[in-house]
A and B are shown apart, each in its own frame.
Chain A
Amino acid sequence: MNVSLLLIILLVGAFATYLAGDKLASKVALFFGLSALGCSIELLNQFNAGENISYLSQWINQPNIAFALKADGLSIAMLLLTTALTPIIIFSSFGNDYKNAKAFYSLILFMAFAMAGTFLASDGLLYYIFWELSLIPIYFIALLWGNGDTEERKKAVVKFFIYTLAGSLFMLIAFVYLYQQAGSFLLEDLYKLDLSATEQLWIFLAFFLAYAIKIPIIPFHSWQAKVYQKAPAAGTMLLSGIMLKMGLYSVIRWQLPISPLAAKEYMNIFIGLGIAGVIYGSIVALRQKDLKKLLAYSSLAHVGLIAAGTYTLTIDGLRGAVLQMIAHGFVVVGLFFIAEIIFRRYETRTISEMGGIRSQSPKFASMFLLLVLASVGLPTTFNFVGEFTVLYSLSQINLWFALLGGTTIILGAYYMLKMYQHVMLGETNSKVFADVTAKEAITLVLIIGVIFFFGMYPKPITDLITPSLENILTHINRVN
């Protein structure tokens, strides 16, 4: 068995879902989502057993492009994240009644296909194709099933599309240039290239444009809040839970090892940009009145810290970043699902119109609280492990970075708890808040379970990713 099977399952799933018709679509999609999860767990087992699960075949002769999929610990961790979140996202949409459901669920699976491909591809062009391909489904998901005024949504989504496309096209130029030098798009050939410092700087910047827009890093974040707000819940979860991890993953996999000189030379600038994102995101989040927008800005702050962690170029920084990527994926999906649960009952996302929910639904309140605490990085949650490791690595570079980055915990606790207070506490709301349904509860419990399990026992993931990160680090340090 090799990794291409996983992609085939997801792609076939996308078509099968579309053909299944509106009534069955969600169930078929869930079935394929779960089989993809099963497949990636099986892949994990085989990988741990030392079997070769990569796939390589020639695709285009001239220029030399291979259909190369390669899985190391890092890729498998990201695959597990993708395939674990996809069924959760699909399952979380069961409570919504989407028009044209077959297209909706089919696009979700197609998006999972493209994202899984991005995490697996080890040929630059194949990687680029998957990277771009993931843009089309999310564009339609956000555009057609989103909420709010159509004109405004259209503007936000088109801006997002053009913005990300613009960034990635510059990455394409970088790849074509690299191809001219290496005669191949294969990752290992690109790692071997011996580029001058100027060349590396340009390539680093071209990659940076693509990734900074996707992640997003300040000052390329302006598309984010609007799109998160306007997209349907599932779309927001896909974007924040998995898609932005594509950018962070690519920094580690492609950008840093291909242009290490530039990464070292300008390290402080890029760490600084990440940390600026932390502070900016936290401060703007303080003032948000819309629940989804608040979560969007808090997400901006968290990924800023992750990006800063990757640019430290230390094993702790990379490891912390990857751990935090996975933790953030689960927490943010959970939080956006909370926003959706409230919206299903109150038809609003404005924080001031909420309040007094706890007394009506204590179960929901405690699950929400657990997610809020995880988001602010309480010890014993998964996020604490990641955040702490990243902050530690930042302190190794410069204590100020760690101190400023650490404000994420203080400010984060402040705005998240304040939000919790306004949304949940206070006098009992006059509007009735129906208790969470079994389906919603299962989704939330699953997410919380994952967060606390790995919060207390992160070793399996650390063991999985560390060897591949060390390998990448040797490529980064090959020239001095």
Chain B
Amino acid sequence: MNTLIAIIGLGVLCLLFEIFEWRKAIIPVTVIGLLAVLGLNISEFNSPEAYYNNMMIVSKFSTAFSALFIILTLFLVILSHKFYENQPGKLSDFIAIKIFLLAGAVAMVSFGNLAMFFLGIEILSIALYVLASSSRQSVKSNEAGLKYFLMGSFASGIILFGICLIYGAMGSFDVIEISELSRSAELPIWFPIGIILVAIGMFFKIAAVPFHFWAPDVYEGSPTLTTALMSTLAKVVAIATLFKLLNVMNADLSPSFQLVIVIISMASMTVGNIMALRQVNVKRILAFSGISHAGFMLMTLLSTTNAAGTLLYYTSAYALAGIAAFSVILYVCKHNENEDITNFHGLGKTNPLLAAILTASLLSMAGIPIFSGFFAKLFLFNQTIQAGYIALVIVAVVNSIISVGYYFKLILAMYTKEANEERTATPITIYAVAVIAIVLNIALGLFPSYVLDLLA
């Protein structure tokens, strides 16, 4: 709870800095502030508590995921330094929006009441709509923002409708009460319908097939930093929230609902991977790869009682690799119109360090040891086989093989093609973020227990 208040305070502070024209200090202060918030958040880890009549429930789950969100925001804020250098006048707005987005994210994983859950979603989503269209001059960015807004608000509407049905069935917004009621009495039909509607809305947010159509266009059109945010932070928030929602409301999912999850999971992986094979734009590749990773993450929903640690591990591994990859994309495509693979030609020669980092992050996403992406998949497979879904695991493995195809397309472009441009700039912030993210990723691979056992 204190974390949330501190985050909002930090956001307001950012806006104040603009008023006093202390623009240069915004990013350093925000970084320090976020580090302080991270510390505050960690201090709450061992003291679970409920606030305001169970509106907010701070638990191990919520603090662990909040810590991940804060770290990701930290990276994104540092990257902003370079990304917005041509728009100093708007810097505080962009940073403040990111901080408020973080507030929404934290609210989403620590809700104790469906009203709070919806508030969190809306705070996060509205911030994202703004960020998606934040490059005002660009037609593509406007298109992306509008598409995302139309589709996103539709999904929010469905979620809200679902919440209403759940309220109608149970007479309460409080998730603990709902979960008790759902176990005891015979359930009115509205309850499962409500759950499904809420789940559909969340499937939209994490871009799972068949609710994924917005993702490639929005990812491509949005400013690159926003794409980085969507594909790492926003996706992780949504899947964590969906996990928590299903976990607290009905611990034992009905078999038919599990079947739905299995099918959506399989479809997401397969469609995402196969579509990614044909793309030439790196942001679109990562959009489709994100869709397939959403399919993998959905596998945790099949064993909600004990998969929280696995989900935390998978999302951390995925998001850290994503941050590292996107910082390289930010560097490479800084002065380019688009993000086509041709821009990456010869990066292995012109900038071996960043090429190695991008290679490492792609290998992590593909699930090659010793990167944490491998362990993430291993733990996931282990859990899913334990839950008895061996067919799903086999589909997942086949998909891992397909995914190597497009990840390696990018690696090949970096190492075997001749460079078509000189790259001399050495933006220190991008280097720092990329190196730290990939080191964290590998460290997570070498010592998985530290994260995995947090939620055990």
Contacts and interface: CB of A to CB of B under 8 A. Distances in A.
B is bound to A: yes
Interface of A: 59-63, 125, 128-129, 132-133, 135-136, 140, 143-144, 150, 154, 158, 161-162, 165-166, 169-170, 172-173, 176-177, 179-180
Given A60-B449, A158-B408, A176 B378 contact: yes
Contacts of B309: 62
A154 B117 CA distance: 49
A62 B456 contact: yes
Given A62-B452, A143-B416, 4 more contacts: A62-B449, A63-B378, A173-B381, A176-B378
B25 interface: no
B363 A170 contact: no
Given A129-B369, A129-B370, A172-B381, A162 B415 contact: no
Nearest to B418: A150
Given A162-B401, A169-B400, A133 B408 contact: no
Given A128-B369, A133-B370, A172-B397, A162 B405 contact: yes
B44 to A, nearest CB: 24
Contacts of A165: 368, 401, 404
Give 4 nearest A-B pairs by CB, closest first.
A129-B369, A166-B401, A169-B397, A132-B369
Contacts of A140: 415
A154 B416 contact: yes
27 contacts: A60-B448, A60-B452, A61-B453, A63-B378, A129-B369, A132-B369, A133-B369, A135-B368, A140-B415, A143-B416, A154-B412, A161-B404, A161-B408, A162-B405, A162-B408, A165-B401, A169-B401, A170-B397, A172-B378, A172-B381, A172-B397, A173-B393, A173-B394, A173-B397, A177-B385, A180-B382, A180-B385
A162 B416 CA distance: 18
B253 to A, nearest CB: 21
Interface residues of B, number: 29
Specify which of A62, A128, A140 lies most central, judged by the most chain B CB atoms within 10 Å of its CB. A62
A132 B378 contact: no
A140 B390 CA distance: 33
Contacts of B378: 63, 125, 172, 176
Contact of A62 (B369, B397, B453): B453
A153 to B, nearest CB: 8
A157 B26 CA distance: 48
A136 B408 CA distance: 12
B397 A180 contact: no
Contacts of B456: 62
A153 B408 CA distance: 14
Contacts of B385: 173, 176-177, 180
B386 interface: yes
B416 A150 contact: yes
Contacts of A170: 397
Contacts of A166: 401
B379 interface: yes
A125 B378 CA distance: 9
B368 A176 contact: no
A61 B378 CA distance: 14
B374 to A, nearest CB: 8
Interface string B402-442: 00110010001001100000000000000000000000000
Contacts of A173: 381, 385, 390, 393-394, 397
Nearest to B456: A62
B386 A180 contact: yes
A63 B382 contact: yes
Given A129-B369, A166-B401, A179 B382 contact: yes
A229 B408 CA distance: 21
Contacts of B390: 173, 177
B369 A63 contact: no
A341 B391 CA distance: 51
A219 to B, nearest CB: 18
B14 to A, nearest CB: 40
Contacts of B382: 63, 176, 179-180
B184 to A, nearest CB: 33
A136 B397 contact: no
Interface in B337-359: none
A125 B382 CA distance: 12
Nearest to B446: A59
Contacts of A132: 368-369, 374
A169 B366 CA distance: 12
Contact of A176 (B363, B381, B405, B408): B381
Contacts of B416: 143-144, 150, 154
Contacts of B374: 129, 132
Contacts of A125: 378
Contacts of B370: 129, 133
Contacts of B369: 128-129, 132-133
Contacts of B405: 158, 162
Interface in B371-395: 374, 378-379, 381-382, 385-386, 390, 393-394
A63 B456 CA distance: 11
Contact of B404 (A60, A162, A179): A162
Nearest to A126: B369
B412 A136 contact: no
Contacts of B449: 59-62
A128 B378 CA distance: 11
A135 B401 CA distance: 14
Contacts of B452: 60, 62
A125 B377 CA distance: 13
A63 B401 CA distance: 24
A197 to B, nearest CB: 18
B401 to A, nearest CB: 4
Given A60-B448, A173-B381, A176-B385, A143 B397 contact: no
A116 B381 CA distance: 27
A144 B415 contact: yes
Interface string B250-293: 00000000000000000000000000000000000000000000
Nearest to A153: B416
Nearest to A151: B416
A61 B400 CA distance: 25
A128 B374 CA distance: 11
A170 B412 CA distance: 25
Contacts of A61: 449, 453
A29 to B, nearest CB: 19
Nearest to A133: B369
A63 B381 CA distance: 11
A376 B309 CA distance: 56
Nearest to B409: A158
Contacts of A180: 382, 385-386
A63 B397 contact: no
A273 to B, nearest CB: 23
A63 B309 CA distance: 11
Nearest to B397: A169
A196 B401 CA distance: 29
Nearest to B306: A62
Nearest to B393: A173
Interface in B7-57: none
